[in-house]
Amino acid sequence: MSSLGKFPVLSKEGSENVVDISAFFYQVFRSQLSISSVSDQDAGRAGLQPVSRWKAYGLNGYPGFIFIQNPFLPGCQRHWVKQCLKLYTQKPNVCNLDLHMAPEKTADLWGQSKEKLRRKGSSKCEPRSLLEKLRWVTLGYHYNWDTKKYSANHHTPFPSDLAFLSEQVAAACGFRGFQAQAGILNYYHFDSSLGIHVDESELDHSRPLLSFSFGQSSIFLLGGLKREEAPTAMFMHSGDIMVMSGFSRLLYHAVPRVLPNPEGTALPSCLDQALSSDLPVGSVIEHSSDEDWQVCAKYLQSSRINMTIRQVLAEGQKFPEESGTNTESRAPSEDSHHQENSRAKRHKPNIDS
């Protein structure tokens, strides 16, 4: 078992040491992936290593839960970080800042923030840029934080590059035909947390929930079918992917804490790696300019970005007829997301890890 290396499981008693797999053999096992479902070429086009090289693990007692340790090719995480900060924040996508700012003020968060971020020092007294005030962005079918529902009337095109990435990961985990229909991007800082919750608003629970993490590290709690069940804790580091499917699809989970990456450097070394100049034909990965990456790197020095992707509807399924007022028009309340420390606004725990 020691050949499996290290899996970042913490004890249920709360120890914050990464446990060697050989000492935790009763809980962790190597997950079998569907290597033939994703060609090496398609994996490369998504910025991923060949599936045969992925280190994927499961946990006894949590069937359907898969933890994949950073399967990204060198430099490819940078693409997804830049997309989350520069592209996916653009309209028609929806973000928390839309709740109290005029549309023209949130049309270009990147453009309004990049110089302030680039010049940012270490003082906590400096005013935050709009990107630093960002808490969530929704893609595809836009989640309504008040009704906790999706709606056919509130939908915008899902990013094609992120859909391609999600399809490859889902296929490798045995879910060929997965359709990326909705995404929630979470933007965490060191004082951020996410309370215990379950993702159940999708109409089709037979498809997995995919979670991608970039930047600083966090503690992730995986609980049970009931809120009061004791969770298992684990670290999530930059590039790690989690898949919740089957029995584990509707388990309670939370992110109680964001932590500096364990290497003790401003950014984890996997984000310092340069992207190959020879990208495969059809790659969805794009090179980031040095100027753009400078802004992204500055942001990530105190932040973590998480993308969760879901399929909302089964093939051929439709939303039920809605009666009364159009749910799309109901804006989510300002306190519908992260929980932060007492100096910041407190938010209700809600969807996503």
- CA torsion, points 75, 76, 77, 82, in degrees to nearest 10? 100
CA pseudo-torsion sign 326, 332, 333, 339: positive
- DSSP 8-state symbol, 149: B
| 155 marked as binding residue | no
- CA torsion, points 289, 291, 293, 299, in degrees to nearest 10? -160
Asked if the bond preceding 157 is cis, omega within 30° of 0, the reply is no
| 272 marked as binding residue | no
**d(Cα 103, Cα 328) in Å, to the nearest integer?**
16
| 253 marked as binding residue | yes
Identify which of 97, 99, 100, 98 has the alpha carbon closest to the alpha carbon of residue 130: 97
Identify which of 276, 270, 262, 264 has the alpha carbon closest to the alpha carbon of residue 297: 270
**d(Cα 189, Cα 300) in Å, to the nearest integer?**
9
Identify which of 255, 232, 350 has the alpha carbon closest to the alpha carbon of residue 306: 255
- Exposed (0-12), middle (13-18) or buried (19+): which is 142, by Cβ within 10 Å? buried
Annotated binding site: 197, 199, 253
Annotated binding site for Fe cation: 197, 199, 253
